[in-house]
Amino acid sequence: MTLQKEAADPSEPSEPFAELRSGNLGVRLAAGATEIDAVQALRYRVFYQEMGARADDETTIAQRDRDIYDTVADHLLVVDHGLGEGPESVVGTYRLIQREAAGRIGHFYSSDEYDITSIEANPGRILELGRSCVDNGYRNRSVMQLLWRGIAAYVFQHTIELMFGCASLPGVDPDVLAPELTYLYYNHLAPAAIRPRAVPHRYIEMRRLDRDGIDARVALTRLPPLIKGYLRLGGFVGDGAVIDPQFNTTDVAVVVQTDLVTDKYYKHYERRSRETPD
C-alpha cells in the first residue's frame, strides 16, 4: 500500500520536515547560506581532494564545489551533533531539485548528459537527485540509511512520484567498467516510458560484453553502494553511459519510482519513532 498525501501547491513554500535523529546523527534540510557553504566545502573535499576531480582556478581558490543549481536546490544534510552545532557538523549531503526549481535555471542538471524528455513528460511531481557525498569517516550503512530516510520524508512531504539523476562509477575507461555497465543494461534497463538516453555526442554503449559472459553476482558486488541502493528500491538505469572527465567518473542515469521509497523507509521509520519512548 502506498502512503497517500494531498498534493502541495508548488507555488507555495513548504516548511522543512523536522530533523530525524539516529543517536548523535541527524538528517534535515540545510538552513541558510552558512550550511549550504558547509555542504559545498564537503563536496570539494570528497570530489576534488579525494576523488581527483579537476578544479578550475575559481574552484581551487574557493575550495568549494558549487554551481548555479545550488541556488535553487534543497540541500539535504547529515549532521553529527557530536562535532558541534555549526557548519563543522555537516558530514553528508544530497542535492534535491524539483521541476519548478529547475525551471528557474531553464533545465535540470542531468540534461547536460541525458535526454530526459520522457521523465519531464510525467504529469506528477518529479525530483532530481545529485551531488551525493559523505565524509570519509562516515561511510557506513547507518549514514546511508539516514540519508534515505531524509529523502523519503522529503518525497512524502512533496508528493514526489518519480526520482532521477546521474549516478557515478569511478574512472573514465568504460572497458574497465564493462561488467558493471553490461550487467546494468541487461538487468535494470528502465521501461521505455521513463527511460533516459545519453545525448548523442556523449553516448557510450553499455553493452560491452556478451550477456552470458558476465558473472552477475560479481558485477553487482562491484557496483558503488549508491547505485546498489537505487537498485534495492526497484530503480532502473537509462540507455547509455556518459564519461565525465571533470569528475573522473563514468555516469549512468538512474530512475526510481517512489512507491518503495515511501513504503519501505518512511513508514518503517515512522513506526519506529512511535514505538520509541521519549
**15 band by pLDDT with thresholds 50, 70 and 90:** low
pTM for this entry: 0.89
Q: Is residue 13 part of a domain?
A: no
Domain that holds residue 168: 20-275
For 251-265, the pLDDT digits (tens) are 999 999 998 776 765
Question: What is the phi/psi pair of residue 223, to 5°?
Answer: -70, 145
How far apart CA 158 and CA 129 sit, in angstroms, is 14
Residue 205, pLDDT above cutoff 50: yes
Q: Is residue 37 part of a domain?
A: yes
Q: Is residue 215 part of a domain?
A: yes
Q: Is residue 174 part of a domain?
A: yes
Q: Is residue 3 part of a domain?
A: no
Residue 112: give its domain's CATH number.
3.40.630.30
Q: Is residue 256 part of a domain?
A: yes
Contact criterion met (CB below 8 Å) for 196 and 239: yes
End-to-end distance of the chain based on CA atoms, in angstroms? 29
Residue 2, pLDDT above cutoff 50: no
H-state helical runs in 124-237: 141-158, 178-188, 216-222, 225-232
For 54-79, the pLDDT digits (tens) are 999 999 999 999 999 999 999 999 99
What residues form DSSP beta bridges with 255? 164, 236
How far apart CA 229 and CA 27 sit, in angstroms, is 18
What residues form DSSP beta bridges with 249? 170, 244
Contact criterion met (CB below 8 Å) for 185 and 236: no
For 79-95, the pLDDT digits (tens) are 999 998 889 999 999 99
Helix (H) or strand (E) holding 101: helix 99-105
Identify the residue whose cell numbers are 539516529: 22
Q: Is residue 12 part of a domain?
A: no
How far apart CA 238 and CA 255 sit, in angstroms, is 8
Q: How many residues does the chain have?
A: 278
Q: Is residue 156 part of a domain?
A: yes
**Count: domains in the chain:** 1
For 112-144, the pLDDT digits (tens) are 999 999 999 999 999 999 999 999 999 988 898
Question: What is the residue-wise DSSP string for 253-272?
Answer: EEEEETHHIIIIIIHHHHHH
